[in-house]
Amino acid sequence: MRLSQYFLPTLKENPSEAQIVSHRLMLRAGMIRQSSAGIYNWLPLGLRVLRKIEQIVREEQDLAGCQEVLMPTIQPSELWQKSGRYDDYGKEMLRITDRHGRDMLYGPTNEEAITDVVKMECQSYKDMPKMLYHIQWKFRDEVRPRFGIMRGREFLMKDSYSFDIDYESSKAAYNKMFVAYLRTFNRLGVKAIPMRADTGPIGGDLSHEFLVLADTGESGVFVHKDVLDFDIPGDDVDYNEDLQPIVDKWTSLYAATDEKHEEGVEAELGDDLLAARGIEVGHIFHFGTKYSKPMGATVTDQNGTEIDLQMGSYGIGVSRLIGAIIEASHDDDGIIWPESVAPFTVGIINLKTGDETCDETCDRLYKELNAAGVETLIDDTAERAGGKFKNMDLIGIPWHVVIGPRGLKNGVAEVKNRKSGEKQEIAITDLVAHFSK
Amino acid sequence: MRLSQYFLPTLKENPSEAQIVSHRLMLRAGMIRQSSAGIYNWLPLGLRVLRKIEQIVREEQDLAGCQEVLMPTIQPSELWQKSGRYDDYGKEMLRITDRHGRDMLYGPTNEEAITDVVKMECQSYKDMPKMLYHIQWKFRDEVRPRFGIMRGREFLMKDSYSFDIDYESSKAAYNKMFVAYLRTFNRLGVKAIPMRADTGPIGGDLSHEFLVLADTGESGVFVHKDVLDFDIPGDDVDYNEDLQPIVDKWTSLYAATDEKHEEGVEAELGDDLLAARGIEVGHIFHFGTKYSKPMGATVTDQNGTEIDLQMGSYGIGVSRLIGAIIEASHDDDGIIWPESVAPFTVGIINLKTGDETCDETCDRLYKELNAAGVETLIDDTAERAGGKFKNMDLIGIPWHVVIGPRGLKNGVAEVKNRKSGEKQEIAITDLVAHFSK
């Protein structure tokens, strides 16, 4: 993309309405703009990051054997009356009356909706197990929306649901999601730690939250420091094998949010206990027959007996993750994107726009890099060099390629790594091969 | 995907609630299930097709220089009060009151929302032109939702908006979208004809509808038969050049829906006039300052004078297109997907599940085809052969590879083309190369 044509309205000053760093930087980097309280427009740069995160989440769900569906945003109230949550959910649920006076709602989550689909389409134990997910906008009418997309009202969530005929296989589904989550967050470039969690309004008896560690995180967390070095399951992980050993390992040492933190742990663990801060980005629950029973989601077993399905649900806050990644990865100059979610991998800075050789070299590199599949942004504006550096740092592009008359004389560009700040000279002729490796 | 594990609840019988063929086939092929009136759950097969259509639409928008954003589904009423459409839109707009008593609505379209974004971020003629689009769920509270996703309430739409400083450049943006639409529908495997249109509630003075020709279409259309043979702009089309000649060519001959059909044309054109039926899938409008003026979306020109932006909007019914494609491409046995939007390219039918050589060959082929990037579905169920053929025809997979003991003795598979019905024998060893060409 050519910056001169890109719709990227960056801000030099910190907007006064933003209290936390991710909100500030998303506004300053031209990623989002508020539409109304807790509801945002995603501008091109923000949307690119959102789609990358979404795609990594999707790939890992698919790998775990979860199948993608898409449920609508607007749900009929009847489903929630059946489960008993219509009244329980309170004012956080956005309730709507349609033109025929029918009570509808904007889905804050989808346990009822997916249970209804499975109930209608699956009658036999032969149709089980099922793991289904969707990535869809949700709405929760927060009393006081704040912190940008971190606690917004309209947000993008991946929610998966498992259906099984008994506890053992439902536990296996839970373990698959546990492992998929470890892999997902790792690919997104953040350190996320599973912690035992309250089950809250969704209910159930087995539950873990995944929290991204970030100095500016919303919650205090206490983690045995060895957990930080546990291995992430690799590409060779076999989801058809027993994953219990992986889950056991990851839950073998202490890890808790301050809400669940137990007295005496400090004394017991001493220096092994790390007190840090974290941001919740995922939550997994096993809740048995909590929804299948009231909604009549049963299948017949081998003997023709009706059995209530065992269920679990598994959420990842896709839009929230952008905030969490920024909280975990930024400096005074701006965002530092992990390469896997960066909107562009390379940013070309033309030090002397108007200089024929500079312009020509930049333009050729820009085309060649993109043709080689390296997503590249070129700052072809007439802004002065200092402003271009600041801007590229602010929006967090992982690699900056600086082209100027002096380097060109020697046939080299300066390549800067945004994260480490390290700079090296690379021959112009080697650049495409360097980045498309 | 292995059919034995796929969530694909097909139906043998025609569902009584479905009045038109696309609705019937989408239900029978397990693509969608109704959630409430005019609101659907997308099951895995349907979602795959939806995503393919969305991606082709996206690629063609990007190629035309349009930049993707994403606006939220829930909008504040204030925007619509400014434009004057809040009252005009009537009961089709889903109106919502949030917990603080603020009037909101589920966006039926986004002229106001995008105009507000551009007004806030663009102040100078130097920020122009801008072409922005998003692909987002919309809601229109139809009195009587019907015909499945063809006239649903919650639907997926691509809507683009152009902003220019004068009529001439606004017309150029209009032409870009005109050309992008010709290319988009062609890539989707349907014949879509641009026809002069009423501008309806969006307003404006220049407008074309694009209608897919289908015998079972909702509207009567009258088209000069030579229009059907006009060339589609190729991959070498240059969106920076003047596209007026292409638009002039495509609008040079008679094409009108029955609403706009003029008396006397039959007599004038005789055998050159084709009376057919069509389905509206796209609509483009130029409407000048209709929104920019009341909403104050101005920029300053070179002399510092404030000028109202010239605007256009350009819609494609992404979910509706699935219905239109099926209406245009099916037979008595089921759907016939154009390859570009088919959920899978190849369907492997194992004639004798349980036979070791058949199972082994099918499994190997399935893995090799997917590894070669050929999206393949394998019917590895214990269903009898007749049922497997029927099912593969129903869901419309373009190529069926039939593996049975008899063929295997000669080292061949039978390959059937779903559209033509033609069958040929191909050596098993050549199959992967054949499809990954």
Q: Please write the tens of the pLDDT for every residue from B389-425.
A: 999 999 999 999 999 999 999 999 999 999 999 999 9
- Provide mean pLDDT across the span B50-68: 98
Kindly state the DSSP code that residue A148 receives in the 8-state scheme: G
Q: Report the chain B residue with the minimal C-alpha distance to residue A152.
A: B72
- Joined together, the tokens standing for residue B262 give 């003029």
CA distances to B235, B379, B409, B413 from B430, rounded to whole Å, are 31, 21, 16, 10
- Provide mean pLDDT across the span B286-305: 95
Q: Report the chain B residue with the minimal C-alpha distance to residue A139.
A: B74
Q: How many domains does chain A have?
A: 2
Cα–Cα dist A126/A311, whole Å: 16
B267 touches chain A (CB under 8 A): no
B72 to A40: CB separation less than 8 angstroms, yes or no: yes
Q: Report the chain B residue with the minimal C-alpha distance to residue A138.
A: B73
Is residue B83 domain-shared with residue B159, that is, in the same domain? yes
Nearest alpha-carbon partner for B223 in B265, B183, B267, B181: B265
Is residue A212 domain-shared with residue A168, that is, in the same domain? yes
- A417 in a domain, yes or no? yes
Cα–Cα dist B181/B192, whole Å: 9
Number of residues that make up chain A:
437
Nearest alpha-carbon partner for A212 in A184, A239, A254: A184
- Mutant choice from A96, A128, A143, A153 vs B, greatest count of B C-beta within 10 A: A96
- Joined together, the tokens standing for residue B333 give 């046995």
**A171-187: pLDDT as tens digits:** 999 999 999 999 999 99
Q: Which domain holds residue A300?
A: 21-335
B117 to A41: CB separation less than 8 angstroms, yes or no: yes
Q: Which residues of A touch B113 (CB under 8 A)?
A: 35, 41
Query: Would you tell me which residues 86-115 of chain B have a C-beta closer than 8 angstroms to some C-beta of chain A?
Result: 91-92, 94, 96, 98-99, 102, 104, 106, 113
- B16 in a domain, yes or no? no
Residue B86: pLDDT over 80: yes
- A6 in a domain, yes or no? no
Is residue B325 domain-shared with residue B380, that is, in the same domain? no
B50 to A70: CB separation less than 8 angstroms, yes or no: yes
pLDDT at A82: 96
Which CATH number is B324's domain given?
3.30.930.10
Q: Which of B335, B355, B372 is the last residue of a domain?
A: B335
Question: Residue A129, preceding bond cis, omega within 30 degrees?
Answer: yes
Q: Report the chain B residue with the minimal C-alpha distance to residue A34.
A: B117
Neighbours of A80 (CB within 10 A): 23
- Provide mean pLDDT across the span B239-265: 94
Q: Which residues of B396-409 are buried (b: 16+ CB within 10 A; e: fewer)?
A: bbbbbbbbbeebbe
B50 touches chain A (CB under 8 A): yes
How confident is residue A260, by pLDDT bands cut at 50, 70 and 90? confident
Is residue A52 domain-shared with residue A152, that is, in the same domain? yes
- B112 in a domain, yes or no? yes
Query: Would you tell me which residues 188-247 of chain B have a C-beta closer than 8 angstroms to some C-beta of chain A?
Result: none
How confident is residue B131, by pLDDT bands cut at 50, 70 and 90? very high
**A398-432: pLDDT as tens digits:** 999 999 999 999 999 999 999 999 999 999 999 99
pLDDT at B206: 87
The answer to whether A380 touches A431, Cβ cutoff 8 Å, is no
**A211-257: pLDDT as tens digits:** 999 988 889 999 999 999 999 999 999 999 999 999 999 999 999 99
B44 touches chain A (CB under 8 A): yes
- Provide mean pLDDT across the span B236-248: 97
How many contacts (CB atoms, under 8 Å) link A and B? 125
The answer to whether A387 touches A351, Cβ cutoff 8 Å, is no
Q: Report the chain B residue with the minimal C-alpha distance to residue A45.
A: B69
Is residue B370 domain-shared with residue B278, that is, in the same domain? no
- Provide mean pLDDT across the span B265-289: 94
Q: Which of B279, B302, B335 is the last residue of a domain?
A: B335
Cα–Cα dist A102/A105, whole Å: 10
pLDDT at A259: 87
pLDDT at A437: 74
- Strand spans (E) along A233-375: 255-257, 273-288, 298-300, 306-308, 310-317, 330-331, 334-335, 346-350
- A10 in a domain, yes or no? no
Which CATH number is B377's domain given?
3.40.50.800
A349 touches chain B (CB under 8 A): no
Show Cβ contacts of residue A267 under 8 Å, excluding neighbours closer than 6 positions. none
A6 to B67: CB separation less than 8 angstroms, yes or no: yes
- B274 in a domain, yes or no? yes
The answer to whether B124 touches B134, Cβ cutoff 8 Å, is no
A141 to B99: CB separation less than 8 angstroms, yes or no: yes
- Joined together, the tokens standing for residue B13 give 């019988």
**B181-223: pLDDT as tens digits:** 999 999 999 999 999 877 665 555 689 999 999 988 889 999 9
Cα–Cα dist A132/A69, whole Å: 7
Give A251→chain B minimum CA distance, Å: 31
Is residue A45 domain-shared with residue A157, that is, in the same domain? yes
Is residue B329 domain-shared with residue B420, that is, in the same domain? no
Residue A304: pLDDT over 60: yes
Q: Which residues of B touch A143 (CB under 8 A)?
A: 99
Q: Report the chain A residue with the minimal C-alpha distance to residue B37.
A: A76
Query: Would you tell me which residues 5-24 of chain A have a C-beta closer than 8 angstroms to some C-beta of chain B?
Result: 5-7, 9
How confident is residue A17, by pLDDT bands cut at 50, 70 and 90? confident
Is residue A362 domain-shared with residue A253, that is, in the same domain? no
- A3 in a domain, yes or no? no
**A98-131: pLDDT as tens digits:** 999 999 999 999 999 999 999 999 999 999 999 9
Is residue A121 domain-shared with residue A54, that is, in the same domain? yes
- Mutant choice from A33, A55, A62, A70 vs B, greatest count of B C-beta within 10 A: A70
Give B76→chain A minimum CA distance, Å: 6
Q: Which residues of B touch A117 (CB under 8 A)?
A: 33, 41, 43
Give B291→chain A minimum CA distance, Å: 17
B71 to A139: CB separation less than 8 angstroms, yes or no: no
pLDDT at B197: 75
Is residue A209 domain-shared with residue A348, that is, in the same domain? no
Is residue A176 domain-shared with residue A156, that is, in the same domain? yes
pLDDT at A333: 97
pLDDT at B228: 96
- A97 in a domain, yes or no? yes
Give A418→chain B minimum CA distance, Å: 26
Q: What's the CA dihedral at B328, B332, B337, B343 to 10 degrees?
A: 130
Residue A47 has its nearest CB partner, among B6, B68, B91, at B68
How confident is residue A40, by pLDDT bands cut at 50, 70 and 90? very high
Is residue A290 domain-shared with residue A382, that is, in the same domain? no
- Joined together, the tokens standing for residue B325 give 């494609």
CB-count burial class (<10 Å; 0-12, 13-18, 19+) for A293: middle
Q: Which of A317, A335, A353 is the last residue of a domain?
A: A335
Residue B98 has its nearest CB partner, among A69, A94, A121, at A94
